[in-house]
Chains A and B, each alone.
Chain A
C-alpha cells in the first residue's frame, strides 16, 4: 500500500494561513494526491487533489513538490469550521478510491 506520513496534530489561529505537510516518498508516477478532511461525527469530505502541478480551489490550495515525494495543503485563512482531521491519501489510478487512510493530522483552530 502506498503510505503517507503526516504530523499527528497542528494548531492554528483563526484567520491565519495553515500549511499541512504530507510525505509520500513511495509515490508512483500514476498516483494522484488527494486530501480529505473529517469533521466531528461526519464522513470524510473531499478537499482537493492533484497529480504534478499545484492546484487551487475554493477550499484550499495544494502545493506538490517537484519530485512528488511531498505535498502541502494550504488553508489560506483558517476558520473555526476548519477544525478537523485532515487526511493525505494516494489515489492509485486506475484502481479507484480504495483509499488507505492513515491517522491524519488533527487541526485545531484557536479563536
Chain B
C-alpha cells in the first residue's frame, strides 16, 4: 500500500509569491488533514476534509491559506501571498475515520525568504 505522498518535498519562495502544496492520501481514505510546524513551535492542526468537504478548518491561520480537495482525492494547500512567518514544515495525513490510525506524509518544507 502506497503511503501519503506530498509534493514538493522542499520549496523556497520569495515573500509575496504564491506556493501550492499537494497531498496524495492513501487510496480509499476519506479523511485528509493538513498540519504544519513553524519554526520552534509544535505541530498544529490546520484543517480536515471528509471526502471533498471541509469538516473543520478552525486551524487555518488566515485567508491567505486556501485548501481544496476536488473529487475527494488529492488535496492542495495554496498560500497566497506567502509571508516570512509561513516558513515551516507542512504535513498531510489521511485516515479511514476517527479512532483509526492516521498516516502522515513526509512533509513539505516551505521556506519564505
Interface of A toward B, CB cutoff 8 Å: 32, 34, 36, 41-46, 49, 91-103
Contacts and interface: CB of A to CB of B under 8 A. Distances in A.
Interface size class on chain B is 20 to 34
Interface string B95-113: 1011101111111000000
Given A43-B91, A44-B91, A100-B45, A95 B101 contact: no
B33 A98 contact: yes
B55 interface: yes
Given A32-B99, A43-B91, A91-B98, A96 B104 contact: no
Interface of B: 4, 31, 33, 35, 42-45, 48, 50, 55-56, 58-59, 91, 93, 95, 97-99, 101-107
Contacts, number: 65
Contacts of A46: 101-103
A95 B98 CA distance: 7
Given A96-B50, A101-B43, 5 more contacts: A36-B102, A44-B91, A95-B56, A96-B55, A96-B56
A44 B55 CA distance: 22
15 contacts: A32-B99, A34-B101, A36-B102, A44-B93, A93-B99, A96-B48, A97-B48, A97-B93, A97-B102, A98-B56, A99-B35, A99-B45, A99-B102, A100-B45, A101-B44
A94 to B, nearest CB: 5
A88 B2 CA distance: 26
B107 A93 contact: no
